[in-house]
Amino acid sequence: MRRLHTHFIIIALLFAGIADRVLAQEVATPLSLQACMEYALKHNYNIKNAELDVLIQKAQIGEQLSASYPHVNGKMDVNDFYVPQSSFIDASTFPSSDPKAPPVPKGTIVPISFTVPYAADASITTSQLLFDGQVFIAIKARKALLDFAKIRGAVTEENIRYNVYKAYNSLVIAYRQYDIIKNSLIYARSLEHDVIVTQQNGFAEKIDVERTSVQVNNLATDSMRIGNMLTVAEQMLKYQIGMNINTPIVLTDTSVEVRKDNTLSLLEETEHYERVPEYNLYTQTLTLNEFNLKRYQLAAYPSINAFWAYGTNYGSTKFGDLFLFNKYDRNSTLGISLTMPIFNGFLRANQVTEARLNIEKSKNDIENIKQTIDFQTATSRTTLRNAVLQVQSQRRNMELSDDVLDLARRKYKAGVGSNVEVTQAQTDQLRAQTGYFNALLDLINAEADLKKALGLLK
């Protein structure tokens, strides 16, 4: 009786959890695979940061281009020379106007101040860069820089799609396995009840009851384990798409069996490197390194700036006179400056060498990513072909196990079979079903890998 009571509690808890899940699904958010990917592209924080990186790159381009626009600065000074600086002169240079005064000996140095106590000046200065090789290259490279940021965002998007694709389908298969375990548990519990009644009537032995009870306990444990795994898998999917993990959801794309039919056309797809975001990222890196080389090469050319300045100033022994603006004296300057780099300690030469080496590295990276794509594509194709064959084989095994179980059950009901045959057939069926769904999961993962290698994960 204690064993029966324990089984009753386990079954009650399981069905209570199932009821809670059904009630939750009534108000749950329906999610297809495509809807999950679209949700992730809007709410995943890595995607949000990739979008912000594009905006940051735009701001950085604006910073670089600011050198090509006019620069205007204003300045105003008010000074109180309460201890004015002196200049020193030879007094003998300036003879006295009094003819009776004795001559000043040569070399008589005296301090003299030419500064009035109060002075003020205001000016406005404008400069315009006419030519600078590095700024010129920055202007030409602005589109390439922005494209680089966008391609990095595309790489992030593809990785998110890849993770969501695998997480979604893994959860679908986990739900299918959970349903199978539940159905097997219901039948095993029914069989246990029949064996107990038979044993009470004297037509079965205690070992038969215990054997069926062991199977019920194992199925109940597996059900609870898979139920907990379902919770983790569901939370993982929500994490991947950027959804609150407490939000109830229900998956709508649950027909995983059609994957086998869709993979046949995928196996015939040809490679195009330009479809793969990682390849485009490396080619864009090469473009930027080539711009970098030109930038350092043009640094050997002079830079030319035009400037214009206008100002006014005034000085007086009285502070209040500084506000007599009509007394201020105006001044203005207009000119062009040319700066010619002559020698900078071989800095530019080393920068050019470094830029050339980075170009060579980029070329090697492009060839390497080509080989990587070829390898991943070939490997994924082989894995996918094997997965298709494995699914076909495991499905056949599952169908055979279904037939064996059905026959064992009919023999048991007709009284010509034993519960041992039913228990063993049910165990074989669960093993075959597990093998089938594991093969389906391998098929889905191989499909995701091949789509990613071909740049078709959209």
The pLDDT tens digits for 101-138 are: 788 788 888 888 888 899 999 999 999 999 998 899 98
- Separation of alpha carbons 37 and 52, rounded Å: 19
Give the pLDDT confidence score for residue 190 in this predicted structure. 76
Unique residue bearing structure tokens 């095993």: 188
- 367-408 residue pLDDT tens: 999 999 999 999 999 999 999 899 889 989 988 988 888 888
Task: Check if the beta carbon of residue 440 is closer than 8 Å to that of residue 398.
Answer: no
How far is 176 from 256, CA to CA, in rounded Å? 10
Q: Which residues contact 293 (CB under 8 A, 6 or more apart)?
A: 352, 355, 356, 359
Backbone φ, ψ for residue 110 (5° rounding): -130, 145
Rounded to whole angstroms, the Cα distance separating 338 from 30 reads: 68
- DSSP code at position 117: S
SS3 of residue 83 by DSSP? coil
299, pLDDT greater than 80? yes
**What integer best gives the mean pLDDT of the chain?**
86
| For range 250-254, the mean pLDDT | 88
| Lowest-confidence pick of 157-161, 264-268, 323-327, 359-363 | 264-268
d(CA 412, CA 204): 13
CA–CA separation, 349 vs 46, rounded Å?
39
Domains of the chain: 2-81+116-454 (1.20.1600.10), 83-115 (no CATH)
Helix or strand holding residue 305 (H, E): strand 303-316
Phi, psi (5° rounding) for residue 145? -65, -45
Q: Tell me if 454 sits within 8 A of 271, measured CB to CB.
A: yes
Q: Which two tokens stand for residue 133?
A: 């090789």
Residues 6+ apart with CB under 8 A from 109: 88, 89, 90, 91
Residue 59 has pLDDT above 50, yes or no: yes
Sheet strands (E) in 64-193: 71-80, 87-90, 109-112, 118-131
- pLDDT bucket at 23, cuts 50 / 70 / 90: very low
**pTM, 2 dp:** 0.79
Question: What is the pLDDT, as a whole number, of residue 380?
Answer: 93
